[in-house]
Chain A
Amino acid sequence: MVAARGGGETMKQGGVSRLRAFVRRADAIEGVALVALGGVIAAGAFGLRIGTPAHMGPGFVPLSLGVLLLLCGVVLLARGKSDVVPASAPPAWRPLLALTFAFLLFAVLVDEAGLAIAVLAAIPVAGIAGGGARLRESLVYAVAMAAFAILLFVEALKLPLKVWPWAS
């Protein structure tokens, strides 16, 4: 009974660790990603007219690219050795998320609320990416940046940007 349970566990562990080993065998994720991307691109090409080599439709080159990309992925998987040491540290989620969110905030705000508010909102959020809770510093810095942006881009470079929410 005990032995059986133990055996089952090792078998399960064996499967998991083999999967882990496959994933960790660098180039596996990359290979699968390339195959998937190539497949999606090639599949998308069939929604367009492919045409013949002499009279190529809009789908001809994308289809070729998709197939080539898929092949790259297959070769990468088949070769199965890596030239990069897989990164052991987890991805830098905090900077990535903070930066992405800052850009999205700016994108959402700039058309309606104007440059000033977009900068005031985006810069402190971007500041989170740097770590360390320096709220006051980051707010003061955002105000300075907003003033700087208005002076440089609107006043000096004369870019047609809406600055305040009430401007048309």
Chain B
Amino acid sequence: MPSRTVTVGSASGLHARPAALFVAAAAAEPVPVTIRVGDRRAVPARSMLSVLSLGAKCGTEVVLEAEGEGADDALDALADLLARDLDADAPPATAPAGTGDG
């Protein structure tokens, strides 16, 4: 089965914004792609909850797998996305304001 091994490049890991971008990209591919960390169970790349559950951090090595027509193209596109730092253009976090009294 075609596969790609890639290191997560996003500073915050495969969480939040990077995970959302990755899941959306996987869902747009014509073939189902799976993702796993090491020997652990492979999960569907288009499942936000499953991808988050991997707990992949920046620098974690993940394996993408797919089968069928277009599998190689899909894997290349998703591997390329994962290797990038998807946090780089993230918006700044907003700080909550508190109220107190005298």
Do these two chains really belong together in a complex? no
